[in-house]
């Protein structure tokens, strides 16, 4: 369903006029009409304003109650450690873990010095 059609449907279900949405959001009624008729694609910030005016969560602007995805069926995101383990060879992983332990134990001035040195080395290899 196109977002404009969904916004109009939700507004009508809540028995609200475009003027009511205008009063609650501060958006002009002509802009609301353009969004509902598919002439303008609203930004995320604008969608948040619509959702607040309609008293719904932002995700409800995209899904009907019947077609809402089951959250338990979504693929879980990998953790940073899983991404690192998959992307790096074993010797590199071991080196980075050891380096992480050493860097976190440094005092702030020493850490800044080390990072400045690393920046200079990176610049010289470009």
pLDDT tens by residue, 39-73? 999 999 999 999 999 999 888 888 766 666 566 66
Domain check: are 58 and 39 in the same one?
A: yes
Residues in the chain: 126
| CATH number, domain containing residue 45 | 1.10.260.40
Q: Are 8 and 66 part of one and the same domain?
A: yes
CA distance 66 to 61: 13
Tokens of 71: 């959250």
Give the closest residue to 24 by CA, choosing from 50, 3, 42, 44.
50
Pair 97, 53 in one domain? no
Verify that 14 and 62 share a domain, yes or no.
yes
Q: What is the pTM of this model?
A: 0.53
> In which residue ranges of the chain is pLDDT below 50?
1
Q: How far apart are CA 29 and CA 70, in angstroms?
A: 35
Same domain, 58 and 19: yes
Q: Are 119 and 63 members of one domain? A: no
Same domain, 34 and 89: no
Residues 63 and 112 in one domain: no
Same-domain check for residues 97 and 54: no
pLDDT at position 65, please? 62
Q: What is the pLDDT of residue 71?
A: 62
Residue-by-residue DSSP string for the chain: --HHHHHHHHHHHTT--HHHHHHHH---HHHHHHHHTTSSPPPHHHHHHHHHHHTS-GGGGT--TTTPPPGGGSPPPPPHHHHHHHHS-HHHHHHHHHHHHHHHTS-HHHHHHHHHHHHHHHHHT-
Same domain, yes or no: 34 and 65? yes
pLDDT of res. 101: 83
Q: Domain range holding 98?
A: 80-124
Say which residue the tokens 């010797």 belong to: 91
Q: How far apart are the first and last CA of the chain?
A: 48
């Amino acid at each position: 369903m196109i977002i404009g059609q969904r916004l109009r449907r939700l507004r009508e279900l809540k028995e609200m006029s475009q003027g009511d949405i205008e009063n609650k959001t501060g958006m002009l009624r002509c802009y609301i009409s353009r969004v509902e008729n598919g002439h303008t694609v609203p930004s995320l910030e604008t969608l948040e304003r619509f959702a607040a005016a309609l008293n719904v969560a932002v995700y409800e602007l995209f899904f009907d109650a019947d077609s809402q995805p089951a959250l338990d069926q979504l693929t879980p995101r990998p953790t940073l450690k899983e991404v690192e383990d998959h992307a790096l060879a074993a010797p590199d992983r071991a080196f980075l873990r050891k380096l992480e332990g050493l860097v976190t134990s440094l005092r702030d001035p020493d850490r800044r010095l080390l990072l400045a040195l690393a920046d200079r080395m990176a610049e010289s290899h470009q």
